[in-house]
Structure 1
Amino acid sequence: MTSEISPHLFFPEARLAFHPDRASDVDLHPLRGLLRFGPYSSGLVPDPIRIATIAPARQGNELYGFMKELASQYKPTERKDYLPPWPSFRKAFNLDMRGAVKDCHIELDDRLEGEMKDSAAPHVVLADRLLRAIRSLEARRDAFDIVFIYIPQSWAVGFKGTDGDDFDLHDHLKAATAARRIPIQLVREDRALAYPDRASVMWRIGLAIYAKAGGVPWKLADSDPETAFIGLSYALRPTDSDGPRFVTCCSQVFDAEGAGLEFVAYDAHEIDVQRDNPFMSRTEMFRVMGRSLDLYRRRHSGRSPRRVAVHKSTEFKKEEIEGCMEALHLCEAVDLVQVVEDIGWRGVRIDRDRQSGKGKPTGYPVERGTVIPLGDRECLLWMHGDVKGIAERSYYQGGRSTPRPIRLVRHAGHGPWDETARSALALAKMDWNNDALYDMLPVTMAYAKTLARVVKRMDGLGSASYQFRFFM
């Protein structure tokens, strides 16, 4: 037995595409690419994007002022080695954004804060008042594209539930509006309005607005057109009784270019819960994989993908593997990959000293894209690390701490780690709700976490599929 590990591999940073036909419109940097080429779906999003608003009494001007900021220009005061100046919404996305017609702007009455103060459940009072306003706007759904909701800090007592009440205002509103197919953007006084780097705020909100309006900022440039990615997540759904908890299962489907198609969600019943980790029966896994495959076929003229990669955070039990294989039997290759985020491994970059020939710790962290196989079924993948081609010198997102890898465990599939690791790295750049170069997880897992958190709060899931833009 030896303590040596396998030699490491390295995969370069994934390129992003900013035009469906011009192969030359590519860049490693998502924001730089937008400024150079414009968004991938340029010309396909309604111009202008119309904004409806909900605000506290006599505070609607706060939202109007924020919208004016989006139309202005700002230079970054942080992350200057990565973040370009904000050029205005028009110049960033090649279209305008403006307020919707007059009756799409609601100011709540000034009794709300007093009622919250007097109530034993202020979060219920606040949520009810906001949902009534949203239902009022729903009657004019054809007159707006997105709803801005101003959340002042004076409402903080209603952001969370009382002890033992699993309530979160953000997730509660997302669950209610997603069911109505209404995209919303919460504008918090203590965050979006107070954060000092206005360029950073404008990039993040601007990207979210464009994606929520149905736009595609970028896609992956180098991908296998016959591959589909599926992200699985589960959430234990709270019930009002002492009966068994239902499990909400979410399955998000991505095409080869990393664009999320849609997702399905339903309450599963044939579930084995082990240490709060749910595992599906063969029948339940067959059902969710079958519905996921149907989503892909609907967008690809009835054609099944040649290869499918399924990601989830827990291991694949024997029955789950059998259910996947039965549902995906028409696909040539199926990879079932467990993505483990919290691990104890760390890595230090060692370069050979030219004079002595000995190894010497460098001043830079391990490169993003480094892979160390731990055997046929496991590998370490550095999603976070040093990146070339972004800044004048090396770029290390966050600029602090020693980057830790994630662990990929393959429960089905074979061959080298190249495609599995390369696709995970690329999918980490496909979060359109973030202005960073990459996330710490592939978007299959990052979106799955959000979906599970919000979907479990929806009253009725039905059989319809959903677009992720309503949950951003």
Structure 2
Amino acid sequence: MLDFGSQSLVSRGVEIYRLHNGAPPKRLIIYKTTDFRREEVDGCFDAWSKNENLDLISINQSTPWKGTLLTKQRNNPSKTWSSFYPVNRGTYLPTGEYQVLLWTQGNVSGIAPDNRPFYREARRIPEPILLTRWGGHGSWNDVVNYTLALTKMNWNNSGLYDPLPATLLVSSKLARFVKHMPSVSNLVNHKYDLRFFL
């Protein structure tokens, strides 16, 4: 059974992209903060119709995992010890066939003077987000790189990155905004620049 809400949402998004760019997107990743229901998965694939280059990913920000960076000891390279800086941002660890842990926060090289390590949060050990695939079979490396790129798309702050992709930040802000509107009919039938909601 199809979820016509997700089917129409994906169809409309692809059509808007096609009208703006002259061709449909080559790849589509749909993020949610909750699990995908079977009807939603069917609706998304029905709307995409290619059945390839589509990934349905849920993101869980609350995980019990932590990560520390191990470095080799100078006097004994066969041994390692815990570094003064956390795991590198962008590190990912598959935990099963359909799940991967991704550190969107952590040490970033090449930012600080003299190429020193840089950890924006400065304190506490960064926690990863858990990506779960509910549909699709693209490379985890691609999904991770796209997710990381989206964490750097909030142009309205001076931060190097956000912990979640901009698409999820925008949708949660938009949901809070819509709750205060007397009618959403005016909102639904118009196109808005993503930057207005960041």
Both structures adopt the same fold (TM-score exceeding 0.5): yes
> Does residue 379 of the first structure (1) align with residue 100 of the second (2)?
yes
Aligned with 2:83 (options 341, 362, 365): 362
1:389 is aligned to 110
Maintained 8 Å contact 1:306/1:331:
no
1:338 is aligned to 58
1:310 is aligned to 30
1:442 is aligned to 165
Alignment of 1:40-439 (within 5 A): 282-301=3-22, 303-330=23-50, 332-356=52-76, 357-392=78-113, 393-439=116-162
1:468 is aligned to 194
Q: For 1:401, what is the secondary structure of its paired residue?
A: coil
Deviations 1:216-239 (A, max 9, x none): xxxxxxxxxxxxxxxxxxxxxxxx
Deviations 1:129-178 (A, max 9, x none): xxxxxxxxxxxxxxxxxxxxxxxxxxxxxxxxxxxxxxxxxxxxxxxxxx
Q: Which residue identity lines up with residue 466 of structure 1 in the other structure?
A: Y
Greater than 6 Å deviation, 4+ residue runs: none
Percent identical: 38
Maintained 8 Å contact 1:372/1:379:
yes
Q: Which residue identity lines up with residue 46 of structure 2 in the other structure?
A: E
Maintained 8 Å contact 1:305/1:331:
no
| Alpha-carbon distance in structure 2 between the residues aligned to 1:459 and 1:291 | 24
Maintained 8 Å contact 1:380/1:407:
yes
Q: For 2:43, what is the secondary structure of its paired residue?
A: helix
Q: For 2:96, what is the secondary structure of its paired residue?
A: coil
Maintained 8 Å contact 2:54/2:138:
no
Q: Which residue identity lines up with residue 110 of structure 2 in the other structure?
A: G
Deviations 1:161-214 (A, max 9, x none): xxxxxxxxxxxxxxxxxxxxxxxxxxxxxxxxxxxxxxxxxxxxxxxxxxxxxx
**TM-score normalised by the chain length of structure 2:** 0.90
Residue correspondences, number: 191
The Cα shift of 1:307 comes to: 1.1
Q: For 1:386, what is the secondary structure of its paired residue?
A: coil
Q: For 1:411, what is the secondary structure of its paired residue?
A: strand
| Alpha-carbon distance in structure 2 between the residues aligned to 1:460 and 1:400 | 43
Larger Rg: 1
The Cα shift of 1:436 comes to: 0.5
Maintained 8 Å contact 2:170/2:197:
no
Maintained 8 Å contact 2:63/2:130:
yes
Q: For 1:449, what is the secondary structure of its paired residue?
A: helix
User: Where do 5+ consecutive residues of structure 2 fail to align?
Assistant: none
| Alpha-carbon distance in structure 2 between the residues aligned to 1:336 and 1:398 | 30
The Cα shift of 1:449 comes to: 1.4
RMSD: 1.6
Q: For 1:335, what is the secondary structure of its paired residue?
A: strand
The Cα shift of 1:415 comes to: 4.1
**TM-score normalised by the chain length of structure 1:** 0.39
1:35 is aligned to none
Maintained 8 Å contact 2:53/2:138:
no
| Alpha-carbon distance in structure 2 between the residues aligned to 1:315 and 1:440 | 19
| Alpha-carbon distance in structure 1 between the residues aligned to 2:139 and 2:12 | 29
The 1:456–1:468 alpha-carbon spacing in structure 2 relative to 1, beyond 3 Å, is: farther
Q: For 2:86, what is the secondary structure of its paired residue?
A: coil
User: Where do 5+ consecutive residues of structure 1 fail to align?
Assistant: 1-280
Deviations 1:382-402 (A, max 9, x none): 000000111121111021111
